[in-house]
C-alpha cells in the first residue's frame, strides 16, 4: 500500500519524468516532419513524437513503481495492474503540436483501484507543471493553486473541446454552446483537455466540459481540479468521469447551474 509519504516522493519523480519528456517534445517540434504523421482514424492523428514520448514515460515509470500497470494512449504497455495503474497521455494536444499551435501537454495519473491518487500535467510551451496527490492540495511549479471564486455563470469563462470525429451529438453540442455564450463571459477551446482542466484548477477559467474523451485525457487533470477545491462529475452529476467519456469540471460554485445548461445536451 502506498502511503502519503510515498505519494510525495512519487509525485516529485513523476514531475521529473514529465519535464524530461516535455523537453524531448519541445526539441522535436523545432524540426518536426509533418510527413511522419499517421492516422489512427478520421482526424485522429499520431506522430513518432507521441510514440517515443510514451515509450520514455513507460520506461521511467516502470522503474519508479514496478508493481503498477499501464493504461496508455498509444499502446506501448497495456498490461493492467491489480491495484495500481498509470494512466498516460504522452502528448495531449497532438493536433496542436502538428500545426505548431503552442498548447499541448504531458499527462500522467496514478490510480489505486478506481481512485485517482496522483496527477501531473506538464504544459510544454509555458513550462508549467501542474500536480496533485490525493488529500495534498494542488500546485503549479511549486505554488499552491485553487479554483476561481466566481459566483455564477455570468462571471465565468468556460472551456470546451470540439468533436473531431464523432459528430452524432453535434446539434445538441452547438445548442449548448449557444446557450453558454449567452450566459457566460465566453467560451474557449485550447485543444488539450489536460490543460483545460488545469486552467480550471488554477482559476483561469471557471468550468470545462467535453464528451467522447478517454481516461488518459482527463485522469491527471481531474484530480488536480478536485485538489484545488473544484468539482468534477460526469454530465449526470455522478462520478463516472474518468472512463465514462463525459466530464464536467468547475470551481464548484457554478456546478449546479452549469449542469442545468448541459442537461439540454445530455438529454
Can you give the pLDDT at residue 265?
A: 67
Handedness of CA 250, 175, 40, 30 (dihedral sign): negative
pLDDT of residue 46: 59
Beta strands, E only, 57-185: 69-72, 84-92, 105-112, 115-123, 128-133, 138-140, 143-145, 157-160
- Cα–Cα separations (whole angstroms), residue 140 to 97, 127, 137, 189, 197: 22, 10, 11, 21, 13
Specify the pLDDT at position 32. 79
C-alpha cell at 42: 478520421
> What pLDDT does residue 1 have?
76
Query: Which fold, 153-266?
Result: D-Maltodextrin-Binding Protein; domain 2 (3.40.190)
Residue 245: phi and psi, rounded to 5, are 70, 15
* Numbered residues of the known binding site: 73, 89, 91-92, 217
Annotated binding site for Mg(2+): 73, 89, 91-92, 217
166-206 per-position pLDDT tens digit: 677 788 889 999 999 999 999 999 999 999 999 999 999 99
CA–CA distance, 121 with 132 (Å, rounded to integer): 9
Task: Give the residues of the chain that fall short of pLDDT 50.
Answer: 42-44
CATH for 4-144 is 3.30.540.10
Q: What angle do CA 189, 156, 115 make, to 5 degrees?
A: 70
How far apart (Å, rounded) are the C-alpha atoms in residues 215 and 89? 9
Confidence at residue 219, expressed as pLDDT on a 0 to 100 scale: 98
Q: What is the pTM of this model?
A: 0.94
Rounded distance between C-alpha atoms, residue 254 and residue 237, angstroms: 13
**What are the domain boundaries of the chain?**
4-144, 153-266
Tell me the three state secondary structure of residue 138: strand
Q: Whose grid coordinates read 504522452? A: 90
Amino acid at each position: 500500500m502506498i502511503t502519503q509519504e510515498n505519494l510525495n516522493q512519487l509525485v516529485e519523480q513523476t514531475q521529473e519524468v514529465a519535464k524530461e519528456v516535455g523537453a524531448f517534445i519541445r526539441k522535436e517540434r523545432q524540426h518536426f516532419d509533418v510527413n511522419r504523421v499517421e492516422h489512427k482514424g478520421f482526424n485522429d492523428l499520431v506522430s513518432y513524437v507521441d510514440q517515443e514520448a510514451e515509450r520514455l514515460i513507460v520506461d521511467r515509470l516502470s522503474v519508479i513503481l514496478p508493481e503498477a500497470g499501464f493504461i496508455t494512449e498509444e499502446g506501448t504497455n497495456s498490461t493492467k495492474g491489480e491495484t495500481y495503474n498509470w494512466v498516460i497521455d504522452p502528448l495531449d494536444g497532438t493536433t496542436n503540436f502538428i500545426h505548431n499551435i503552442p498548447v499541448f501537454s504531458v499527462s500522467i495519473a496514478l490510480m489505486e483501484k478506481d481512485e485517482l491518487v496522483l496527477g501531473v500535467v506538464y504544459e510544454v510551451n509555458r513550462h508549467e507543471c501542474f500536480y496533485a496527490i490525493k488529500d495534498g492540495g494542488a500546485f503549479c511549479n511549486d505554488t499552491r493553486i485553487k479554483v476561481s471564486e466566481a459566483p455564477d455563470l455570468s462571471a465565468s469563462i468556460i472551456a470546451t473541446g470540439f468533436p473531431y470525429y464523432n459528430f452524432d451529438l453535434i446539434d445538441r453540442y452547438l445548442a449548448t454552446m449557444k446557450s453558454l455564450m449567452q450566459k457566460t463571459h465566453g467560451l474557449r477551446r485550447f485543444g488539450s483537455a489536460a490543460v483545460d482542466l488545469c486552467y480550471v484548477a488554477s482559476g483561469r477559467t471557471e468550468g470545462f466540459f467535453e464528451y467522447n474523451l478517454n481516461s488518459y485525457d482527463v485522469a491527471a487533470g481531474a484530480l488536480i481540479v478536485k485538489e484545488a477545491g473544484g468539482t468534477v462529475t460526469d454530465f449526470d452529476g455522478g462520478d463516472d468521469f474518468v472512463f465514462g467519456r463525459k466530464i464536467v469540471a468547475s470551481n464548484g460554485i457554478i456546478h449546479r447551474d452549469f449542469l442545468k445548461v448541459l442537461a439540454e445536451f445530455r438529454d
